[in-house]
């Protein structure tokens, strides 16, 4: 396991009380130093490995999310997201995130 999360996206279908997903998110979460040791800050290396292993579609939750595009945008300097690199590193390491079926945190802004 790589992280635990208190946030889950609002969805219009029933999901389990808790569940695991491969990778990691960045809202209302915690991790361990053992997982941080797996973090790779070089987006190019992460993308190359996702492509080498043929995992981009799976990384994108079977096309439901544009994570590969976000990683490419980070590489191109269009965003400065550490979170996409965190997600990719955990995904490639086979780490799971424990998520709640209903969000336990709320973003109220700054």
- Tens-place pLDDT, residues 47-73: 999 999 999 999 999 999 999 999 999
Q: Residue 12 has what DSSP assignment?
A: S
Question: Directed axis angle between helix 82-92 and helix 43-52, to 10°?
Answer: 40
Sorting pLDDT into bands at 50, 70 and 90, what band is 89? very high
Is the predicted pLDDT of residue 32 greater than 90, yes or no? Answer: yes
State residue 27's pLDDT score.
82
d(CA 104, CA 110) in angstroms, rounded, equals 18
Structure tokens, 104 = 């336990």
pTM for the full model? 0.90
9-30 burial, b at 16+ Cβ within 10 Å, e below that, comes to: eeeeeeeeeeeebbbbbeebbe
């Amino acid at each position: 396991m790589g992280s635990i999360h208190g946030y889950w996206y609002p969805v219009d279908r029933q999901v389990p009380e808790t569940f695991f997903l491969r990778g990691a998110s960045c809202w209302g979460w915690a991790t361990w130093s053992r997982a941080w040791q797996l973090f790779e800050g070089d987006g190019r290396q992460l993308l190359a490995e996702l492509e080498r292993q043929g995992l981009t579609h799976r990384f994108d939750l079977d096309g439901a999310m544009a994570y590969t595009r976000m990683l490419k945008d980070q590489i191109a300097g269009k965003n400065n997201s550490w979170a996409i690199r965190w997600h990719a590193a955990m995904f490639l390491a086979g780490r799971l995130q424990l998520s709640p079926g209903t969000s336990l945190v709320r973003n109220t802004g700054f």
